[in-house]
Structure 1
Amino acid sequence: MPWSDPNQSNNPWGNRPNQQQPDLDEVVKRLQEKFSKIFGGGNSGSGGSGIGKGAIIGGLVAMLLLWFASGLYVVAADEEAVVLRFGQHIATKGPGLNWHLPYPVETVEKVPVTRVQRLEIGFRTVSDGQNRKIPQEALMLTRDENIVEISFTVQYKIKSASNYLFHIAHQTTTVRDAAESAIREVIGRTMIDDVLTTKKAEVEVEVETLIQSILDGYESGILVTTVKLQDVQPPDRVIKEFKDVASAREDRERAKNEAQAYANDVIPKARGEAKKTVLDAEAYEKEVIDRATGEATGFESVLAAYRLAPDVTRKRLYLDTMQEVLSKTDKVIVDKSVAERVLPYLPLDRMAGKVEVK
């Protein structure tokens, strides 16, 4: 072949087949010279080799310093930093500038522990500010076997960063599942009329308590702060009938309120009149007793006087009686000795209506 012809120089490796290979020491020496030129230059020979070694050591020291500097990190005011050494939790750091052994020895997970996070269940807020319903989350069954559509929000924050990171996976999904389970349990033992009208606040409190109990059982490190019912209504297909029922319920409540108002007006008056009647009866009782007591006392005094002077007492009683009786009549008694000299007079003007003509 032409490549094997020693007289020709077209060998693709640029040398002849029997040319001697370069010495290994020579190769190392050339590399040292190149490193010397890269890290500041220098003369060839032993001096150049020393400078090359120093430059390599300096470069390694600089890289080591940069590696250590990469362990600096800042924790925000609303965060806590969980420090992991080969994946194991070793410390929790507060806000400020901190340092850890750089990767891959230690890593840091930052968690917003004071930030209140909001979770929507049964609906989602879209970009234009409207709410989009999620039927698979919102529809649930009440105690009286009616279907109700409920949308609500859960607000929570992290109370233990380490538990939040290591005791539960997919934290948002866990909170959502716990909230759905709690609301379905509470609604399942509540009547639909109560859910739609008077017991919304009680439902919120019960759901919040139950969610917190579930999350505490997981040791999730999550604190539920608020549960707020956004919308509670029947499904769209039966909402008209429920509105009719609600209207009838309002009419019933209005009638009850009007009856209660009438009762509040009449009952106090009746109680006042009853009290007045009782007081009048007590006053009459006291009056009759006092009068009877006085008459009895007077009779006893007359009896005592009668025993002392019967004739005088009898005549005085007769005169008193006649005076009392005759004082109420229109009769005039005239002594017989003067009766013949008195002209009889009949006052017809004062007897109008009293005289009967036959």
Structure 2
Amino acid sequence: MPWSSDGDNGGSWKPGNPGPWGQGPSKPTPPDLNDWMRRIQNWLARYSPGGGLHVGGIAILVVIGVALWLLSGWYTVGPNEIGLNKVFGAYRGKTTPGLNYNWPYPVGAVSKLGVTDRNAINIGFTTRPDFTHTNASTQVDVAEESLMLTADENIADVKFVVIWQIDPTRPEDFAFNVANPRDTVKAVAESAMREVVGRTQIQRILTAERKNIEPAVQALMQGVLNDYKAGVLILQVQLQSVDPPDEVIAAFRDVTAAQQDQDRLRNVAEAYANKVVPEARGKAAAIIQEAEGYREQTVAEAKGQASRFDQVYAQYKKAPDVTRERMYLETMERVLGGANKVIVDNPGGQGVVPYLPLPDLGEAAKTTTPGAGQ
């Protein structure tokens, strides 16, 4: 209907009119189904006898529709995805990245899962955007998740992060066996952490056992999820903080500092022991070696003297007088060898004049006089 400016309609625009400035309506006009049907009938009339829609034309139309419906079953899977084919809602296999085919809707359906995407779940805290700073977030504690009971009936405030992904070997388990996988992973993580913390004393949690908690929780989580057939792979468990409650945190920090001092002093003592013990062992080994050398020397000398005595005794038995005289002379030689002596070979002692060494006595007096005066 054209634009009208008479008084009956007041110059108003009606649907289907181009408007006074040659512009159509702002909303798109829905397609005219009758017009589409007339075009299809005209197209089929060209190939059907009598110009009407007969069985042949309907068959061609059905074949074209079926062909288009079958072609709609092609789909692509991304490089980080795995496709799960379903036929009438039942799982029929998985497809690799690339171009794949499955029965089109409503017979078939495809679910695509990002098996290489890593997901993180915060337990004990959550992050919220900080509107006072751009691209900043604030951490909000969740006490009902972080407070856990230890083996010695203390309370520990544990915050940690679980990093997981879909198991690329069993993505169908992730898609069909668990209704809400993320909530399941979070519940299993909290339960595993409570079990590990519940069998450990708080002092060990805060100090020595802290490095062993992460792998223990990861192994326990993986075992539980495998029993569930959840199709989830736990990559890492990261402890963010392990602290006592705020009311006693100062006292526990003092205990931790004392424990660290104890470890430091122990390390110093061990270092000193590692220095002193080898030195003592070296000295002991040197003394032992010296004693062994002295023993060998003494034994060798004793054996030599015994061998010499045996040799002398053998010669003595052959010629006792000669051997006795030779032994006497050798003994006197050793005794009188270093003495100032005069030997007079006169059996009667006649002709010997006593002699007093006066010059020697005078020299001795000169050398002793200065010392006596002082």
Number of matched pairs: 321
2:358 is the alignment partner of 1:348: no
With the length of structure 1 as denominator, give the TM-score of the two structures.
0.77
Q: Which amino acid aligns with 2:157?
A: E
The SS at the match of 1:83 is strand
Match of 1:210 in 2: 220
Quote the offset at 1:288 in angstroms: 1.2
Structure 2 residue aligned with 1:230, among 216, 231, 240? 240
Q: 1:332 aligns with which of 341, 361, 366?
A: 341
Which residue number corresponds to residue 181 of structure 2?
171
Change over 3 Å in CA distance of 1:270–1:338 after alignment to 2: farther
TM-score normalised by length of structure 2? 0.74
Q: Deviations over 1:33-74 (max 9, x none)?
A: 995479669x9xxx9972699998877766655544443322
| Inter-partner Cα distance in structure 2 for 1:341 and 1:250 | 92
Alpha-carbon distance in structure 1 between the residues aligned to 2:231 and 2:58 = 49
2:95 to 80, 93, 96: 93
Bigger mean CA offset, 244-253 vs 315-324: 315-324
CA distance in 1, matches of 2:297, 2:150: 68
Give, as a single letter, the amino acid of the residue that structure 1 aligns with 2:276.
V
Cα shift at 1:254: 1.4
Deviations 1:222-269 (A, max 9, x none): 122222222222222222111111111111111111111111111111
Structure 2 counterpart SS, 1:278: helix
Q: Indicate the percent of aligned positions where both proteins have the same amino acid.
A: 38
The answer as to 2:162 corresponding to 1:154 is yes
CA distance in 2, matches of 1:307, 1:34: 152
Instruction: Check whether the contact 2:206–2:256 (CA below 8 A) recurs between aligned residues.
Output: no
Give 1:155's aligned amino acid.
I
1:134 aligns with 2:142: yes
Alignment of 1:23-62 (within 5 A): 36=38, 50=52
Structure 1 portions without partners, runs of 5+: 1-30
RMSD of aligned residue pairs (Cα, Å): 3.5
Q: 1:152 to 1:95 in 2, by over 3 A?
A: same
Q: Is the Cα–Cα contact under 8 Å of residues 82 and 93 in structure 1 kept in the other structure?
A: yes
**Would you say the 8 A contact 1:211–1:224 is kept in 2?**
yes
Residue in structure 2 matched with residue 11 of structure 1 by the alignment? none
Alignment deviations for residues 61-109 of structure 1 (CA, whole Å, 9 cap, x no partner): 6665554444332211111111222221122222112233322222221
Change (3 A) 1:334 1:99: same
Give the structure 2 partner of residue 6 of structure 1: none
Q: Return 5+ residue gaps in structure 2 as ranges.
A: 1-32, 130-135
Verify the 8 A CA contact 2:157 2:244 in the aligned structure 1.
Answer: yes
SS in 2 for 1:232: strand
Secondary structure of 2:238 counterpart: strand
- Tell me the distance in 2 between the aligned counterparts of 1:129 and 1:66: 50
Cα distance between partner residues in 2 of 1:86 and 1:191:
54
Inter-partner Cα distance in structure 2 for 1:50 and 1:91? 46
